[in-house]
Amino acid sequence: MTNHDSPEELLPFYALGVVSEEERSQVEAWLAGHPERRAEADEMAWAAQSLARLAPPVAPAEAIRPTLMERARRSRGRIASRRVLWTMPAFAGASLALAIVAIAWASSLRAEVNQVQLEAAQMRATLDAQAQLLADLGSPAARLVEIPGTSARPQASARLFADPESVSAVIVVSGLSPNPAGSVYQLWLIRGDVVVGAGLFHVDAAGRATARVHSSERVGEYDALGVSIEPEGGSDQPTGDIVLLGTITL
């Protein structure tokens, strides 16, 4: 294996059976430590074996010829002494070229499937959050509290929908400016001198947002709710302009 060949880069050649015993051991050791890639290696081997039987021999594409010939030169000394899946003529023909294309396609397809699964999980999480928002808004015990803007954002306003006995609530905001780059709006629940972070949100281009208010205690235990502009990721205590601030009267 050269300095440029990692076990992952050797997977296509491992599937084709044109690696040395040392390289094979290194790839198999790597696969043992990355069991999530075993299925991908098996798919590569299946694709390579299938296309080697089905494809008619033609000259390989010029774009892949240097890589193929380099592997051929490096394999020439050991091919005669051990069994491989293909002979050198097949290795230099389109069966191998098509096998490599199929291997790349299979790898790309797996990446696309993983991306779709990730997007589906994100969508489910979003739908669950929206369902919870609707449940909070529709709670028979929910009460409405108006939260006005401050001198920093006098045009802003918000409506807090909260059940005094619940540890979460919903706030509907309007009139705020879109978040400056690298910043976020942060919710704060206030009781006396204690200020507790209660969630982060961004507004749309029209300055509106609907967000969850999270608390470790019942919302009705707090005296007030505020919103400030904080660095992306939030702060432990308010550091930026307070743009919304109002008393919680439930």
CATH number at residue 231: 2.60.40.200
AA letter at 49: Q
User: 26-50, pLDDT tens digit by residue?
Assistant: 889 999 988 888 877 776 676 555 5
183 sits in the region (left: phi over 0; alpha: psi -120 to 50; else beta) called beta
- The runs of H, that is alpha helices, within 38-195 are 38-54, 65-79, 88-91, 94-137
Count of CA atoms in the C-beta half-sphere (13 A) of 106:
21
Q: What's the mean pLDDT when you consider all of the chain? A: 75
Q: Kindly state whether residues 109 and 194 are assigned to the same domain.
A: no
Tell me if 137 is assigned to some domain.
no
Q: pLDDT at position 223, please?
A: 94
Q: Kindly state whether residues 116 and 19 are assigned to the same domain.
A: yes
* Structural domains counted in the chain: 2
Q: pLDDT at position 7, please?
A: 81
d(CA 187, CA 19): 58
d(CA 95, CA 172): 62
Q: Mark which of 103, 128, 153 sits at the end of a domain.
A: 128
Q: 147, 159 in Cβ contact below 8 A?
A: yes
Q: Kindly state whether residues 123 and 148 are assigned to the same domain.
A: no
Mean pLDDT within 59-67: 54
Q: pLDDT at position 40, please?
A: 74
Domain of residue 45 covers 11-128
Can you tell me which residue has the tokens 């299946």? Answer: 46
**DSSP per-residue string spanning 128-146:** HHHHHHHHHHT-TT-EEEE
Q: Mark which of 128, 163, 184 sits at the end of a domain.
A: 128
Bridge partners of 184? 230
155-174 burial code (b ≥16 CB/10 A, e <16)? ebbbebbbbbebebbbbbbb
Q: What percent of the chain has pLDDT over 90?
A: 30
Q: Kindly state whether residues 225 and 120 are assigned to the same domain.
A: no
Q: Kindly state whether residues 71 and 156 are assigned to the same domain.
A: no
Long-range contacts of range 21-26, CB-CB < 8 Å, 24 or more positions apart? 21/82, 26/1
Which residues make Cβ contacts (< 8 Å) with residue 197, sequence separation at least 6? Answer: 186, 187, 188, 234, 235, 236
First to last CA, the chain: 71
Mean pLDDT within 206-228: 92
